[in-house]
Chains A and B, each alone.
Chain A
Amino acid sequence: MSDVVDVVDAAVGSNARVNKDGDNLTIKEKSVAHWVLQSLKILICVFLVVAAVSSRLFAVIKFESIIHEFDPWFNFRATRILTESSFYHFLNWFDSRTWYPLGRVTGGTLYPGLMATAAMVWHGLRKIGLPVDIRNICVMFAPAFSGITAWATYKLTCDIKDSRAGLLAAAFMAIVPGYISRSVAGSYDNEAIAITLLMLTFMFWIKAIKSGSILNAMGAALCYFYMVSAWGGYVFITNLIPFHVFCLLLMGRYTSRIYVAYNTWFILGTVASMQIPFVGFLPIRSNDHMSALGVFGLLQIVALGDYIKNKWDNPKRFRPVLFVSLIIICVLGLGLLTLATYLGVIAPWTGRFYSLWDTNYAKIHIPIIASVSEHQPVAWPSFFFDTHFLIWMFPVGVVLLFLELKDEHVFIIVYSVLCSYFAGVMVRLMLTLTPVICITAAVALSQLFDVYLNFNDLFTLLQNNSIPTRPTITKFITKLIVSGSFIFYLFMFVYHCTWVTQNAYSSPSVVLPSSTPDGKLSLIDDYREAYYWLRMNTPEDSKVAAWWDYGYQIGGMADRTTLVDNNTWNNTHIALVGKAMASNETRAYEILDELDVDYVLVVFGGVLGFGGDDINKFLWMIRISEGIWPEEINERSFFTANGEYKVDSTASQTMKDSIMYKMSYYHFPELFGTNGGMDRVRQQLIKSEDVGELTRFHEVFTSENWMIRIYQLNERDNEGRDGKFISTPVVSNTKASTGGRRKRHGAVGPSDLRI
């Protein structure tokens, strides 16, 4: 990757030189220079795409070609269903294997763009005789699209400054960790394609604003439609483009170019976006989209006013007309908006949108949103971690854009200001801030290089065979020092990006890296072990109760029916599972039995020291279910008298009675001998008398490092009494005879988790 930066630097230099000397060259020399420049640009772009793709392959090299995390597993499963059936069947897909017994109208509640694209690629490759496994297409999907993103960023920045800045921006975009975090190989998520489409939409939009061309505005509308079909974050574009136009109008920069570009984009984009089943009539009803509609109306009025003003012979008499009509329009518009909201024609603001503006809203009203770690605010180190030195080039670029302040610069400025706020509030929105950081930093850096990598006078002197004077040499050295220091930062940037990508963003989180005591890399593969066990050892229609985090994975890897999953559309159902986990055995059995559950799956990190386990997520389960059943579940009763969240002997009785506690620690102390076992996550001693016995559930499987534990509900006897009366559980499979638990071999020793 470092060679790419070299090439960019060389291009910047040569580019500047050729431009400068262009006047003195003959036509033939000019065409040669042009040809060299073009091929250089193409070569650099190709290198950038290679760099972008290859730096995202760490995950595949270190682990294997595997789908990562949670949401991608659902996307993968949906894509597989799409390739196995037709597109219309896919849109009508009702999934009875999740949200049992409710099911989910999946086809109408997902953004199909990602799956449709992957399926298209799959079909296309088959047509030309390359039958690639759909899994490999899904795994390599994000890296491939990141190459396109780099190209779109290049085009976009070309319109903001010039091709020199464009190449730099594309180079940044190709390897910046803030974007890699969501687009490594295997991270088959909506964001992987969405950022590409975001940049494409913006690229067309800037072109449209600059030229007033309907074709470019149509391009923006089409990309916008594609974006709507792929990611819920399209609302960002829906609000940013109108806001840009609004700012231009406020600055008194109304032109017919803006009129043409915006109207084309808005009408085509809105009509197209309504074709997505999940979006439907939202664009004209939801308040999130109101700003686009409002600016559309405003633009018509401004255009009319502009027309009348041009026809009027006396501009002074126009002012009162303008004033009165403005007031009338404002009052009328506000009144209509209030009335429509009051009558329920317009949907109220969505909760997720609220939580962006009122930062305490989510914590109070929607614990399920607050419980998602992606929705947490960002401390300052993350910004540097994700962008290295670009983070302080970012404000520099904004200042430089302010100095010129063309129409397209207003767009980048608006984008920077808004998005830096959003990224500070919600960590996942770092992803939308990263492109604009790359663009502005590239603008700043290329301006710096315009000054300090410009060696024209020296070359002119050398061409004339004259001896350079002392001031010229001094100047040359000065330029070398300044530009050299920035090239050094660029090198550090490349090292930093590689390091971050390698260490932080390439873990699939399905397989966890760890090291043995002698320092060798070993993989902790408990998730797949457990899911595979479920797939092979349980009846195909069995229902597995687990916290919603694991819903998609169980559906995708184990192919078993789940109660709740990561598509958190039904808060009550999630709360029901949380309630079962927090209740004592008798009550939990009742709840789970009513829900037809066969197996309960818990994730336990106490043996390994894995912090993201269910005991640590337990408080959220309690909080969410307390929100629905405050009389049954009480957060307070899970704390000790001193108000601490503990799991050792001092834990409250409610805590010890809950099945989550029992299932996590069942037979855990015996693993370490008679004195009790030390929970390595919470550093607390668990004693066997605290855990007690399970009477209505029995253990069927525990993975190698005890990370996943699966329990089966005891069947009711033929008189309908619950499982307590059945003395010994009937376990048929081989592994489960001692509860499927495996003793850890003392010789190997505990492996340490490294995340």
Chain B
Amino acid sequence: MMFGKGLLTGLVAAIPIFQAVLGQEYAVNAAKQSDHGIIKLTDENFEKVFELPNKRSYGVAILFTTNNMDFNCNTCVKFDPEFELIAQSWLQDHPELTSNEKPDLQLVFARTTIDSPKNIPAIFRMFKLQQIPKLLYFPPGDDIEHFENIDIPQEDGVERVNYIVNWIKVLTGIPDFALHEPTDWTSLFLTAFIVFTSVYLFRKHTDLILGFINSKWIWTLGSVIFIIFMISGYMFTQMRQVPIAGSNRNGEIIYFAEGEFQNQFGIETQIVAVFYGILTCLTLFLIKIVPGFDTDATVTENNNKPNKKSKRKNSFMNSPYFSTILAVSGAVLLYSFFAAYTNIYGMKQAYPFTLFKITQLFSH
């Protein structure tokens, strides 16, 4: 009897231990068997992964994200492979998901995704998530109340991955967590291919390519396009990784960050660059092309080309009014584009010198 009671007590005491072991087996096994060592977390396996209601001996890092394009979540899509890289690096060095230097520390990665907007898993509501992607870390223990939010920076790339790995190291206390970047064979092959092709093409068409490189027009066009992009804030969009466009409160797309003098969207650079291009072309048209149509040779000593004039047979193009029409329409177009430009500028800053738009004449 005494023995039986003892056995029973022992059994009762052993149950949680068994459970713990089994549960742990579940999470660790699940992680090991999944791709990149990331458990796919759903409402069903949620309790198993968290090993509720027992005390779990491992920490869990969960990524809440989506792969549905309806959410229009750019960061989610870009962060997914990076998260896989982090989990993969962890699994690669630690097949048992246990730290080598501190064997009592264990870490499991999990990910839960929203597959369609209509069917949002209950886990998302459970943690009252306002936005995705969200990376939460649950330290070992028996509750799911205490967790840490791991900040996901906006800019993607190796820096972001390193940043997150460092956070995880701080939060878990695991010292040996190294990142293993896979060799990027695609870019390697691509580079080799491009080098090979260009060398081959150069050997085969040396004269053509040299002529291309020596062409003044190529350089002119290249320099001017480069300059125009630089003065349209291209480097700002690159360095700040600004979104291409924004949206207002009603969800409508807006192309200009109104009232923000020191900020801009990506598309603003393109719009402004087009404006600069048009204004440049029109001014050049006035300076270089219009005088060529001038019938009076004495007026423009630099620019008239008598041999060209004889080629023009059309009587209208020979008439003195043709160059007038060209010049006046050039000036009017120039004015209207500049006026439009200043009005766009007026959106960025309270500006007293916006020019009068010609279109306003007809709008009343």
Contact = CB atoms under 8 A, between A and B. Distances in A.
> Are the chains A and B members of one assembly?
yes
Interface of A: 359-360, 364, 377-385, 389, 391-396, 398-400, 402-403, 405, 413, 416-417, 420-421, 423-425, 444, 447-448, 450-452, 454, 456-457, 471, 474-475, 477-479, 481-482, 485, 489, 492, 495-496, 499, 634, 636, 639, 641-643
Contacts of B296: 457, 475
B283 A396 contact: yes
Given A395-B228, A492-B355, A402 B327 contact: no
A635 B210 CA distance: 55
Interface-centre pick from A403, A447, A456 (highest chain B CB count, 10 A): A447
A448 B283 contact: yes
B272 to A, nearest CB: 5
Interface-centre pick from B227, B234, B264, B299 (highest chain A CB count, 10 A): B227
Interface string B221-244: 001101110111111101110000
A392 B344 CA distance: 15
Nearest to B283: A396
Nearest to A421: B230
A413 B294 CA distance: 30
A475 B294 CA distance: 9
Nearest to A483: B331
Contacts of A456: 298-299
B339 to A, nearest CB: 11
A21 to B, nearest CB: 12
Given A402-B223, A454-B300, A499-B353, 11 more contacts: A377-B239, A383-B232, A392-B279, A398-B220, A399-B284, A448-B283, A471-B321, A474-B320, A482-B286, A492-B353, A641-B148
B196 interface: no
11 contacts: A385-B349, A392-B341, A395-B280, A396-B280, A396-B287, A399-B280, A425-B239, A444-B287, A471-B320, A471-B321, A481-B328
B58 interface: no
A529 to B, nearest CB: 30
Contact of B276 (A395, A489, A634): A395
B14 to A, nearest CB: 38
A390 to B, nearest CB: 11
Contact of B272 (A380, A399, A413, A641): A380
Contacts of B262: 379, 381-382
Contacts of B280: 392, 395-396, 399
Interface residues of B, number: 68
A385 B272 CA distance: 14
A731 B70 CA distance: 66
A448 B352 contact: no
A610 B106 CA distance: 48
A424 B264 CA distance: 13
Given A359-B238, A444-B287, A482 B327 contact: yes
B327 A478 contact: yes
Contacts of A385: 261, 349
B264 A380 contact: yes
A402 B324 contact: no
Contacts of B302: 450
A381 B167 contact: no
A482 B231 contact: no
Contacts of A425: 235, 239
Interface-centre pick from B149, B223, B231, B355 (highest chain A CB count, 10 A): B231
Nearest to B148: A641
Contacts of B313: none
A424 B216 contact: no
B124 interface: no
Contact of A377 (B223, B240, B287): B240
Interface string B267-279: 0110010011001
B35 interface: no
Contacts, number: 176
Contacts of A389: 338
A386 to B, nearest CB: 10
A482 B268 contact: no
A380 B240 contact: no
B321 A395 contact: no
B231 A402 contact: no
B330 A482 contact: yes
Contact of B287 (A400, A481, A634): A400
A394 B231 contact: yes
Contact of B320 (A394, A475, A636): A475
B246 to A, nearest CB: 14
Contacts of A474: 320-321, 324
A425 B320 CA distance: 49
B328 A381 contact: no
B287 A359 contact: no
B291 interface: yes
Contacts of A384: 345
B298 A457 contact: yes
Contact of B328 (A392, A424, A454, A478): A478
B40 interface: no
A399 B224 contact: yes
A145 B235 CA distance: 32
Contacts of A492: 353, 355
Nearest to A383: B231
Given A359-B239, A420-B231, A454-B299, A381 B349 contact: yes
Interface in B120-164: 148-149, 151, 159
Nearest to B257: A379
B303 interface: yes
B75 interface: no
Nearest to B240: A377
A677 B345 CA distance: 38
> Closest 10 CB pairs between A and B?
A380-B233, A424-B235, A471-B320, A420-B230, A392-B279, A402-B220, A377-B236, A379-B264, A395-B280, A478-B324
Contacts of A383: 231-233
Contact of A379 (B233, B275, B335): B233
A456 B331 CA distance: 21
Given A444-B287, A454-B299, A485-B334, A421 B220 contact: no
Nearest to B337: A392
A398 B264 contact: no
A514 B194 CA distance: 60
Contacts of A396: 280, 283-284, 287
A495 B342 CA distance: 14
Contact of A457 (B224, B239, B299, B352): B299
A177 to B, nearest CB: 13
Interface string B320-362: 1101100110110011001001000100110011010000000
A268 B97 CA distance: 66
Nearest to B171: A636
A176 B149 CA distance: 49
Contacts of B303: 451
A409 to B, nearest CB: 11
B283 A495 contact: no
Nearest to B324: A478
B170 interface: yes
Contact of B348 (A381, A478, A495, A634): A381
A424 B299 contact: no
B24 interface: no
A402 B219 contact: yes
A226 B320 CA distance: 56
A444 B281 CA distance: 12
Contact of B227 (A378, A398, A478, A639): A398
B223 A398 contact: yes
Contact of A482 (B233, B263, B264, B328): B328
Interface string B1-16: 0000000000000000
A303 B167 CA distance: 59
A423 B231 CA distance: 8
A319 to B, nearest CB: 15
